[in-house]
Amino acid sequence: MKKLLSLLLVVAVLASCAVTVAFADSDAYLGVMLTTNVMSLDTNLATDGESFEVIANCIDGLTQMDADGAAVPAIAESYDVSEDGTVYTFHLRDAKWANGADVTAYDFEFAWKRIAQEAGEYAYLLDSSVGCVKNADAIIYEGADPDTLGVEAVDAKTFVVTLEVPVSFFPSLMYFPTFYPINEEFYNSLEAGTYGTSPETFLSNGAFVLENYTPGTASLSLKRNETYWDADNVKLAGIKYQVIQNSGEALDAFNKGELNMVTVSGNQVAAAENDPKLAENLSVTGAGYMWYLSFSQTENNAQGGMLANKNLRLAISNVIDRYNLVDNYVMDGSLATFTAVPPQFAASSTTGEDFSADQDLFLDVCDYNPEAAAEYYALAKEELGQDEFTFTMIYGSNEGNEIALVAQAIKEDIEAELDGMTINLQPMTKSERLDKMQNDNYDIALTRWGPDYADPMTYLGMWITDNSNNYGFWSNAEYDQLIADCTTGAYVSDYDARWAAMLEAETIVMQEAVIAPLYTKANANLISSDVEGVQFHPVALNRVYKAASIG
Amino acid sequence: MLKYVLKRVGLAALTLLIIVFLLFWLVRIMPGNPFPSERMNDIQIANKRAELGLDNPILVQFWNYITKLLHGDFGNGTSLYYGVPIKTVLNTAVSNSFRIGGISILLGTAVGLLLGITAALNRGKFLDGFCTVFSIIGVCVPSYVFMIFLQYTFSFKIPFFPYFFDDSRFLFSSVMPALSLSLFTMSTIARFTRNEMVEVFDSDYVRLAESKGLYGSKLVRAHVLRNALIPIVTVLAPLVVDLLTGALVVEKIYGINGIGKLMVDAITGEGIDYNYVLALGILYSTLYITVMLLVDLLYGVLDPRIRVAKKRGEAA
Amino acid sequence: MASKKLSPVPAGSAAPYVPVSGDFELLGNRDLQTDTNFASQSYWKGVFVHFFKNRRAVVGLVIIAVIILLAIIGPLMNSYGYRDIIQYRNDQNRRVVAKAVPPRVPWIHQLFTGEPYDDAFADRTFIFGTDDLGRDLWTRTWHGTRVSLLVAFVTIAIDVIIGMSFGLVSGYFGGVTDNLMQRFVEIANSVPRLVIVSVLAIFMPKGMGLVIVALLLTEWIGMSKIARAEMLKIKEQEYVLASRTLGADSAHIIFREILPNTIGPIITQMMFSIPTAIFTEAFLSFVGVGIVLPQCSIGTLIEEGFNNITILPYQILPPIIVLALLMLGFNFIGDGLREALAPKLEDM
């Protein structure tokens, strides 16, 4: 027995030596800047990109994103789809939780039912507008028994999902944290409300484990997970996150070598561009979300519903110089946007072409064109029988320094070109802005939307009648029908027809100027030259570190 | 004296109850709501509200809150760090802010007094002028500007102090935030000390003491400073409370998980977190009320003629 | 400590004795000496003369006068309005904006380097540079000074009218009155300003009016605490007792006898409440309940400049320097006033 023990010890020592040798170069942590706090590590409660990024570092879902954003196998080694496209059978690989337990289909079943039952912010990904998982609507919105959800763990390694209708992008949904597994036994062993609040109350099955974290912390760290099924391909020793909200500070932290990856904005981008050394480290990646103007069309607002007038909205949309906004005020490589679905996030799976690659498509109704705007404005004045308009434009003062600049630039453009129109700016917190929009108590809002999944429907689905995100309360029967056909109707199994129908829907949105798109946000990153392999995506998970290395 | 203190503590409890109710009510009518969700529909939001009991009449809600509070339970976060017991988050914040605040109070008071006394003793000379200019800069430059300046100079250009707050090197990494936070206190104390001492120096009884041959540090200690301390203690008291309860921007710049940041996150974060606003409001009020009681007691110690407890015309 | 019965009516007496004129008789014309130095001028005239004899006080007055003058005429001294974005369109029909331009005066540049600026705004003069939106900071600084001056004067008024009276009355009467008034202070001070102002914003239009109301809510508290402390210290002194024995009423004692002796700390406190109020206004404006963009104030300009402090420090300097000068001026005036209002014997 003693001999065996000493033998084991020797082996263990040797093994640990081998490990240290193998990773001698990579025991450095990657220092990464976050722009806001990580709000929650619970997939049911997390709503922000920062939280999703950290969760995705620690937990693997059924699929994961490859460098191009396509879904590739993760915990699911493979999957079968039934002939009619409504039943997905995932075959799981052998993977372990960090506490040694096996990752099983039951973990997925538990996590999915929990999402539906808790009916949180992202539960809608299961419902009939997106994932179309069977019975999800009844559970989320009517409080039906969560056991009726269309998911089943046939055995420990087989997970079956039943959908109401075929969903062409379903596998790519699976890399979103909402669909990640949670170990039921571990979860139930915790005191209520404490899951994901410390390294002890959070369980990983992914590339990294939590090393240091408390809710609301300004700095947190992750270290590599030795029990990860794909640990051989993880090169980083760990990641150290630091929350920085001041762009100047971010620039200095990078210059000092404190962090390897920071995001800069505003004048700091210009400063980095003009510095020959920094310019080499500067790269622009798409952040996904699109900023746009939302117009309230109800009678409660805008002097008795003046903005319900299409020509008035078109007039406003056509005096905004979007290139001016991105060149002079946002400055971080954001793209001036002239389509209702922003570019660079949803590519057709048949042609591979980006849905909004052609930004010139709607220039006749959405461009900087003061002459056209004057014509629209004259029409609107005539139709409304009024020459003077005063609208309030609301925006979030805590949504980035550039937003106040953008709002002021828009105000100056409108007031310079549209004679008799006054725009009063009203900053407020983001939560108050959302509150005002939800309660139909605003004229014009400077707002944004980030894609949750790689399909144009994440934007187009918002403008149907009665959608809770349709803050303008615009309503168009033809449009509603088109969207219904695409989500649950005639086009669900005909990919190209659906694609064409969505373009048709987008055309209606643009011609009616339901919204005035402004720009698609990008991030200007400074990445030290010894860092490689960090993957950037505009949708779902903005940054993925599994293939990253340093030094 | 004991009777007076007990009476004040009793009144403090009542005051606190009024404050909690006011906050409880105001936070519910202020614009913005606890679930400004972009992805939940009305049914989901209504369910969440019901779950938290926000549908009940406000007095019922208040009663439930107070009963829980009396058991030492601040409740859980509603929109900030949802579901996490507030105590766990508050503990870290309080310990960080109190420690850094404590250092800056000591620093601000000590340096402020020293500067003020030096200026008063050198009245009209260079040092006096320096003190005036220093105090003016100290109150005109916001602490966060000073913080960025310190960080830029002593951490970036001359890499001596850590660039971000580091809990494992607490004292070392507290130097810059504590210094920048103490600047306002330092300037205020210096200015008040200087002005008060100059006034006391001019008063008849100090002239008398001087004529009796008392001079130098003994004079300053025995007569001048003691008499100048009352306004100094008065201005210091609210500054102590403010420093202990943290400073938002400095905390954000240096990455400190403090009370100031927590308060602003609770109001301007994803939604208004009623429970955090209340918990922090109670913390602030309790501190403020306690400090004010201490100040009133201190008046009597500094000047035995003062008896705050006494009504006008009553016998001492 | 010796017991001092101050009540004019001895306890236990049934009714106060009312003196009649027969109780008194005239002592006759005594040879009274009047100090000519005191009698030759009225109190306020003395204050005036004293104040203007103080060189620093006059300097302070000049500084404030110049700042007020510049706040009035500064924005008119060039062709830019406070909200004018300086821009033009280039050949590609893209807009070029004079944003974040460091301070420049072309002829001085020409003088030292021998050549003009080589960018699109070579012939423009921006004494303080421009901000991130491409607006002239000289104009905006002086435009913003107007708002901040208003805030400063409102704060002084709040300090004097509300804070001082509240503190003096609370301290003078003591007992239940003091207790109630101090508990009120605790309540007023304990509700976070952001919460109460947000609620007020529901009922009031946002802007300068709301800022003033917000200042009214809490800005007087510091002053009231100082005034109360001074009152507690002074009210037990012999001259107050003397005055009361002579039958002076409370108002007379508080405002004529005690107030002049508390003037030192009160003026110091007033000086320190001004920058606090100016930054409070900036905070309120940032969260959207104060003045709205493109309006500006010294406080909001400091906050805007703060975003670029490490790479474009020139943006934050003008507002901070104006604020510091404003404070310097106020402090000099305050010192002068203090010496003039409470003259010491040797100053006579």
Residue showing tokens 């001294």? C77
User: pTM for the whole thing?
Assistant: 0.84
- B10 in any annotated domain: no
Measure C273 CA to nearest chain B CA, in Å.
9
Q: What percent of chain A has pLDDT over 90?
A: 35
Smallest CA–CA distance, residue A214 to chain B, in Å, is 8
Say what the ipTM of the complex is.
0.84
Cα-Cα-Cα-Cα dihedral sign, residues C143, C146, C151, C152: positive
Q: Chain B window 168-207: which residues touch A at a Cβ cutoff of 8 Å?
A: none
C324: closest chain B residue by CA: B140
Does residue A22 have a pLDDT over 70? no
Q: Give the count of Cβ contacts less than 8 A between chain A and B.
A: 137
Task: Give how far B93 is from chain A: nearest CA, Å.
Answer: 9
Helix (H, G, I), strand (E, B) or coil at A527: strand
Inter-residue contact A416 to A373 (CB < 8 Å): no
Listed residue (B40, B35, B42) closest to B82, CA to CA: B35
Chains that touch C (3 or more CB pairs under 8 A): A, B
Q: Is A8 helix (H, G, I), strand (E, B) or coil?
A: helix
Q: What is the pLDDT of residues A329-360, one digit of tens each?
A: 998 889 999 999 998 888 887 888 888 888 88
Please write the tens of the pLDDT for every residue from A460-495: 988 998 888 888 888 889 999 988 888 888 888 888
Confirm if A459 and A483 have CB atoms less than 8 A apart: no
CA A374 to CA A419: how far, in whole Å?
9
Q: Under CATH, which number does the domain A287-522 receive?
A: 3.10.105.10
Cβ <8 Å between B235 and C269: yes
- Name the amino acid, one letter, at A421: M
Domains detected in chain C: 51-76+141-347 (1.10.3720.10)
With 0-12 CB in 10 A as exposed, 13-18 as middle and 19+ as buried, what is A346?
Answer: buried
Q: List the single best residue of A212, A468, A471 to mutate versus B (max B Cβ within 10 A).
A: A468
Residue of B nearest to A197 (CA): B84
Q: What string of H, E and C letters represents the secondary structure of chain B?
A: CHHHHHHHHHHHHHHHHHHHHHHHHHHHHCCCCCCCCCCCCHHHHHHHHHHCCCCCCHHHHHHHHHHHHHCCCCCECCCCCCCCEHHHHHHHHHHHHHHHHHHHHHHHHHHHHHHHHHHHHCCCCHHHHHHHHHHHHHHHCCHHHHHHHHHHHHHHHCCCCCCCCCHHHHHHHHHHHHHHHHHHHHHHHHHHHHHHHHHHHHCHHHHHHHHCCCCHHHHHHHHHHHHHHHHHHHHHHHHHHHHHCCCHHHHHHHCCCCHHHHHHHHHHCCCCCHHHHHHHHHHHHHHHHHHHHHHHHHHHHHCCCCCCCCECCCCC
The neighbouring-strand residues paired with C95 are C89
- Buried (b) or exposed (e) across B160-196, using 16+ Cβ within 10 A? ebbbbbeeeeeeebbbbbbbbbbbbbbbbbbbbbbbb
Only one residue has tokens 């999944």, namely A453
User: Rounded distance, CA A416 to CA A425, Å?
Assistant: 15
User: Does C179 contact B22 at a Cβ distance shorter than 8 Å?
Assistant: no
- The tokens describing A444, both together, are 């014009």
Residue B218 confidence (pLDDT): 67
- CATH code for A43-188? 3.90.76.10
* Sign of the dihedral through C-alpha A251, A257, A259, A262: positive
Interchain CB distance below 8 Å, C202 and B29? yes
pLDDT tens-digit series, residues A69-116: 888 899 999 999 998 889 999 999 999 999 989 999 999 999 999 999
CA C191 to chain centre: 23
Selecting from C191, C202, C316 the residue whose C-beta is nearest the C-beta of B145 gives C316
The total of structural domains in chain B comes to 1
Neighbours of B137 (CB within 10 A): 16
Decide if A510 contacts A362 (C-beta within 8 A).
yes
* CA of residue A312 relative to chain centroid, distance: 32
**Average of per-residue pLDDT across A373-392:** 90
> Domain for residue B192, yes or no?
no
Taking the C-alpha atoms of residue A207 and residue A245, their distance in angstroms, rounded to an integer, is: 27
Q: What is the pLDDT of residue A443?
A: 92
Six token digits for residue C235: 């009210």
pLDDT tens-digit readout, C53-103:
888 889 989 999 999 999 998 888 888 888 888 888 888 878 888 888 888
pLDDT tens by residue, B267-293: 877 778 888 888 888 899 999 999 988
Residue in C129, C271, A446 with CA at minimum distance from that of residue B195: C271
- Would A43-188 and A287-522 be classified into the same CATH topology? no
Q: Which of C9, C56, C183 is best to mutate for the B interface (most B CBs within 10 A)?
A: C183
- On whether any CB of chain C is under 8 Å from the CB of A39, the answer is no
The residue of chain C with its CA nearest to that of B124 is C56
Q: What is d(CA C130, CA A239) in angstroms, rounded to the nearest whole number?
A: 40
Domain parsing of chain A, residue ranges: 43-188, 287-522
In a mutational test of the A interface, the residue from B73, B81, B180, B265 whose CB has the highest number of chain A CBs within 10 Å is B81
CA dihedral A440, A441, A443, A445 (to 10 degrees): -80
Token reading at B282: 């109670």
d(CA A207, CA B154): 37
Residue of chain B whose Cα is closest to the Cα of A255: B156
The domain in which residue B175 lies consists of 86-108+139-179+238-315
Q: Rounded to an integer, what distance in angstroms lies between the CA atom of residue B185 and that of residue B247? A: 13
Would residue B164 count as lying in a domain?
yes
